A and B are shown apart, each in its own frame.
Chain A
Amino acid sequence: MTKGRTYGGHPRVLLEKIDKYSWRIPQKYKPGMRVPGLVLADEYLLEKMKTDRTLEQCANVAHLPGIYKHAITLPDGHEGYGFPIGGVAATDYEEGVISPGGVGYDINCGVRLLSTNLSEEDIHPYLAELTNTIFNNVPCGLGSRRKDFRLTIHELDRLSTEGVQWVIEQELGRPEDAKHCEENGCMKTANPDKVSTTAKNRGLSQCGTLGSGNHFLEIQKVEKIYDAKVAKVFGIDHEGQVTVMIHCGSRGFGHQICSDYLRVMERAVHKYKITLPDRELACAPGTSNEAQDYYQAMACAVNYAFSNRQVITHLVRQSFEQIFKKPADHFGLGLVYDVAHNIAKIEEHKISEKVTKVWIHRKGATRAFGPERKEVPSDYRAVGQPVIIPGSMGTSSWVMVGTSKAMDVSFGSTAHGAGRMMSRSAAKRRFWGGDIKKALEQRGIIVRSASAVILAEEADPAYKDVEKVVDVSDRVGIATKVARLVPLSVVKG
């Protein structure tokens, strides 16, 4: 933990301007920095970052043993725990470290997008009923759990090991769903023996639940297409087209795995004599048992989160069937893509002209691989992977596409969302849940929420402008605009 800095009195971080959208925190800013920091932001977003410890945390990440090139803060960067949220760090596979803080508590918090063949006018008469049905079918809010779909420990182990494929085998998905997930919906390194009983107990009844906080499910329409050629490849072919977005993570299962391994890493820091500027950067050498155990447990949570979004997808498809009395595939409802926002993995990147194996930490960051990478599904490989960026409640969300530029600049990564800028308590003082709901409804957006308090805390002005985040990503070229989506209805925890 950083001592001697009072809360609110943020240190002035040394910054050098590289160009309009990039800034460097030079290595000389702090004596222990092994590489510089790279901040991708315009003036507006940079000013927001200066109001909390985002930039200081970026400089702290640059201390990690084995880190390559630079510690990256993306346009949506804001203060996190140890690592800023909206950041990327790559460390050497053999000489570098792996840190649970570089992934976060909500392992594989992420988002998936479904496309339909419906237009806004087709769905409009049924929208309220459909939203209610989804709200009733998908448990959400405080302590949301499933009463009907409770896993046994054995089933949970299989789900953690096999991911989305196992869920599909339980008849909760279509065979083609798995290949439209990052990692094909399963990290093969998962090993449930590395997961504590407490984590498993938390996970038994939460698969297929949305949870609380910033998580949501939206029925949306395509408001504007920016890149028609790529949009078509992703299954988005006209403005007004209806889509469904699901934003959630690995629930208590992932939170507990993170917490358990933070303890392990604290001990590892002492054991391997690693010097760090912040307790929450706790890490272990990638080749150590501690790191390998974490990586195998983390992969279980990654698979749990993919599976969670898969079960919710099934519930959404069922809800359409209930309302329209026709099979779900009649409306499309195919999976465009499922992306992780909080994840660590082994990837190969070109560093100083040499292909190098690294541990990639993406915390509040989306993979944005460009064309021809083998990790991108075959049907998207010619154009690059879909990058899905959720906005805050009631604002726009975006479909972008990964680029070759991202491979050079940001280890194939871009931003993950709007990023908060107002505290929850300030939002509650400024807004009242009922007013927020009314304001959204005046704009024709239907809102169903388990909690009025959450509506106030998640009010749109509490977040940075997602448009600005997306603009910077597009101008820097680390993911470019494909389509803008706006909500027709929102289901909220």
Chain B
Amino acid sequence: MTAVPLTKRFEFLEHTADVYVVAHGKTLEEAFENAALATFEIMTDTAKVEPKVEDEIEVEGYDEQALLYNWLEMLIVKFEITENLYSRFKIFPIKKNLEGLNLKAKIWGETFNPNKHTQKAGVKAITYHQMEILKKPKDVTVKFILDI
């Protein structure tokens, strides 16, 4: 798999009050990974966040939008509780179960250090506002707005 250049992994579009994120991937998993990277890019310069600690995450969702919402919310919560910024994300193939969808992932990052890491905006929450998941063969785009 060829690496997608960083600029193509996600982009930020115009929104009056908050941040409108568009993330891309060949698969849903990859698009979700890039959505996570974009979320941390709003908070800091992720290039300076080294993958020193590893965490595991598991979230459920009754549909893909709910899964995206819960995945990103879990990351925001992780940051607030552990103070870790994350810059690397590996989502294992998303599974269907009776409840809906199940996502397991490994994430890597390090403790936020104001002397090392650029401080940008805090992300309050992920929203369903204008959320879209567009799927074409080998081309998945997810769009969502983060409340800043």
Contacts and interface: CB of A to CB of B under 8 A. Distances in A.
Do A and B pair up? The answer is yes
Interface of A: 1, 7-8, 52, 78-82, 85, 105-106, 141-145, 198, 201-202, 206, 211-213, 252, 255-256, 258-259, 262, 279-280, 420-426, 450-451, 453-454, 457, 493
30 contacts: A1-B128, A7-B20, A7-B130, A8-B14, A52-B16, A78-B16, A78-B17, A81-B127, A105-B125, A105-B127, A106-B147, A142-B122, A143-B79, A143-B122, A145-B80, A211-B122, A212-B121, A213-B148, A256-B77, A259-B126, A262-B128, A280-B127, A424-B121, A425-B12, A425-B19, A453-B118, A453-B121, A454-B119, A454-B120, A493-B122
Contacts, number: 112
Nearest to B127: A81
If over half of B's interface residues share one DSSP class (helix, strand or loop), that class is named, otherwise mixed; here it is loop
Interface string B119-142: 111101111111100000000000
Contacts of A143: 43, 79-80, 83, 112, 122
Contacts of A106: 124, 147
Closest 5 CB pairs of A and B: A212-B122, A451-B119, A453-B120, A423-B14, A81-B129
Contacts of B13: 7, 425
Interface in B3-33: 12-20
Interface in B56-84: 73, 77, 79-81, 83
A230 to B, nearest CB: 32
Nearest to A364: B17
A81 B43 CA distance: 21
Contacts of A262: 128
Contacts of B12: 425
A279 B65 CA distance: 12
Contacts of B119: 141-142, 450-451, 453-454
Interface of B: 12-20, 43-44, 73, 77, 79-81, 83, 112, 114, 118-122, 124-131, 145, 147-148
A205 to B, nearest CB: 9
A21 B17 CA distance: 24
A450 B114 contact: yes
B130 A142 contact: no
A105 to B, nearest CB: 5
A432 to B, nearest CB: 14
Contacts of A202: 77, 80-81
Contact of A451 (B73, B83, B120, B128): B120
A106 B125 CA distance: 9
Nearest to A278: B129
Given A105-B147, A453-B120, A198 B77 contact: yes
A237 to B, nearest CB: 37
Contact of A280 (B80, B112, B128): B128
A145 B114 CA distance: 12
Contacts of A52: 16
B121 A457 contact: yes
A423 B122 contact: no
Contact of A142 (B16, B44, B147): B44
A436 B100 CA distance: 48
A424 B125 contact: no
A52 B112 CA distance: 36
A378 to B, nearest CB: 36
A423 B16 contact: yes
Contacts of B129: 1, 81-82, 280
A392 to B, nearest CB: 12
B148 A424 contact: yes
A420 B16 contact: yes
Nearest to A421: B16
Contacts of A426: 14
A7 B124 CA distance: 22
Which of B15, B19, B126 has the most C-beta atoms of chain A within 10 angstroms of its own C-beta? Answer: B15
Contacts of B17: 78-80, 85, 420
Nearest to A260: B73
Given A106-B124, A255-B124, A425-B12, 9 more contacts: A81-B127, A82-B129, A202-B77, A213-B124, A252-B80, A422-B16, A424-B121, A425-B13, A451-B121
Nearest to A104: B147
A259 B83 contact: no
A423 B121 contact: no
A1 B145 CA distance: 13
Contact of A425 (B14, B77, B114): B14
A52 B145 CA distance: 15
